[in-house]
Structure 1
Amino acid sequence: MTATESARPGKRGGTGRGTGTGAEAPRLAGVPLLGSLLDLTSDSLGTYLRARGEHGDVVRITAGPPGLRTELHCVFSAEGVQQVLASQAANFRKDNAVYQEVRDSFGNGLLTSQDEDYLRQRRLVQPLFTKRRVDGYAGAVAAETASTLAGWDRAPDGVVDVSDAMMELALRAVARILFGTDVDTTVDVVDRCFPVITRYVLRRGYSPANFPRSWPTPGNRRAAAALDELYGVCDEIIARRRRDLAATGATGATGSGTDTDTGATTAAAAGTAPGAVTAPGAAPGEDLLSLLAAATSADDAEFDDTELREQVLIFLLAGHETTATSLSFSLHLLARHPELQDRARAEIAAVLGGRTPGAADLDRLPYLTQVLKEAMRLYPAAPVMGRRSVDAAEIDGHAVPAGADVILAPWVTHRHPRYWPDPERFDPDRFTPEAEAARPRYAWFPFGGGPRACIGQHFSMLESVIALAMILREYTFEAVDTEIAVSAGITLTTTGPARCRIRRVDA
Structure 2
Amino acid sequence: MTTQGETTMTTTTRTEAPELAGLPLLGSLLDLKNDSLGTFLRARRDHGDVVRITAGPPGLRRTVYGVFSAEGVQQVLAGESANFRKDNVFYQEIRESFGNGLLTSQDEDYLRQRRLVQPLFTRRRVDGYADAIAAEAETLLGEWREDRATTVDVLQDMTRLALRAVARILFGTDVDTAVRVVERSFPELSAYVLRRGYSPLKVPRDWPTPGNRRADAVHRALYEVCDRIIAERRAADRAPGDGDDLLTLLVEAESAEDGRFDATELREQVLVFLVAGHETTATSLGFALHLLGRHPEVQARAHEEVDRVLAGRTPGAADLDSLSYVTQVLKEAMRLFPAAPVIGRRAVAATRIGGITVPAGADVVVAPWVTHRHPRYWQDPERFDPDRFTPEAEAARPRYAWFPFGGGPRACIGQHFSMLESVIALAMILQRHRFETVDAEVPVAPGITLQATGPARCRLLPRTA
Q: TM-score, normalised by structure 2?
A: 0.96
Does the CA contact (< 8 Å) of 1:200 and 1:223 recur in 2?
Answer: yes
Q: In structure 2, what is the Cα distance between the partners aligned to 1:387 and 1:157?
A: 44
Name the aligned partner's letter for residue 90 of structure 1.
A
Residue 505 of structure 1 and its aligned partner are, at CA, apart by 0.4
1:282-321 map, 5 Å: 285-321=243-279
1:34 aligns to 2:26 (yes or no):
yes
User: Which of residues 235, 241, 249 in structure 1 aligns to 2:239?
Assistant: 249
Cα deviation 1:246-277 (Å, max 9, x = unaligned):
x3230x5xxxxxxxxxxxxxxxxxxxxxxxxx
**Structure 2, unaligned runs of 5 or more:** 7-12
Aligned to 1:415: 373
Aligned to 2:420: 462
Aligned to 2:10: none
Q: In structure 1, what is the Cα distance between the partners aligned to 2:431 and 2:201?
A: 51
Q: In structure 2, what is the Cα distance between the partners aligned to 1:55 and 1:230?
A: 42
Structure 1 outlier segments of 4+, above 4 Å: 19-22, 154-157
Residue 153 of structure 1 and its aligned partner are, at CA, apart by 3.0
Does the CA contact (< 8 Å) of 1:52 and 1:58 recur in 2?
Answer: yes
Q: In structure 2, what is the Cα distance between the partners aligned to 1:487 and 1:201?
A: 14
Residue 193 of structure 1 and its aligned partner are, at CA, apart by 1.7
Does the CA contact (< 8 Å) of 2:182 and 2:275 recur in 1?
Answer: no
Name the aligned partner's letter for residue 159 of structure 1.
T
Residue 156 of structure 1 and its aligned partner are, at CA, apart by 6.9
Q: In structure 2, what is the Cα distance between the partners aligned to 1:157 and 1:239?
A: 39
Which structure is richer in relative contact order (CA contacts within 8 A, separation 6 or more)? 1
Does the CA contact (< 8 Å) of 2:149 and 2:460 recur in 1?
Answer: no
Cα deviation 1:441-495 (Å, max 9, x = unaligned):
0000000001111100000000000000000110000000011111111111111
1:399 aligns to 2:357 (yes or no):
yes
Aligned to 2:120: 128
Name the aligned partner's letter for residue 322 of structure 2.
R
Q: In structure 1, what is the Cα distance between the partners aligned to 2:14 and 2:103?
A: 32
Aligned to 1:221: 213
Residue 235 of structure 1 and its aligned partner are, at CA, apart by 0.7
1:47 aligns to 2:31 (yes or no):
no
Q: In structure 1, what is the Cα distance between the partners aligned to 2:220 and 2:45?
A: 45
Q: In structure 2, what is the Cα distance between the partners aligned to 1:486 and 1:156?
A: 29
Q: In structure 1, what is the Cα distance between the partners aligned to 2:71 and 2:179?
A: 40
1:88-487 map, 5 Å: 88-155=80-147, 158-244=150-236, 247-250=237-240, 252=241, 285-487=243-445
Q: Percent identity?
A: 73
For the residue of structure 1 that corresponds to 2:459, the secondary structure is strand
Residue 36 of structure 1 and its aligned partner are, at CA, apart by 1.1
Does the CA contact (< 8 Å) of 1:22 and 1:394 recur in 2?
Answer: no
How many residues are matched? 455
Name the aligned partner's letter for residue 271 of structure 2.
L
Cα deviation 1:140-167 (Å, max 9, x = unaligned):
1100000001121355761000011001
Q: In structure 2, what is the Cα distance between the partners aligned to 1:190 and 1:485?
A: 23
- Range moving further from structure 2, 63-72 or 20-29: 20-29
- Range moving further from structure 2, 305-314 or 145-154: 145-154
Residue 226 of structure 1 and its aligned partner are, at CA, apart by 1.3
Aligned to 2:9: none
Does the CA contact (< 8 Å) of 2:32 and 2:39 recur in 1?
Answer: yes
- Aligned-residue Cα RMSD (Å) equals 1.4
Aligned to 1:257: none
Q: TM-score, normalised by structure 1?
A: 0.88
Residue 224 of structure 1 and its aligned partner are, at CA, apart by 1.2
Q: In structure 1, what is the Cα distance between the partners aligned to 2:312 and 2:379?
A: 38
Q: In structure 2, what is the Cα distance between the partners aligned to 1:156 and 1:361?
A: 30
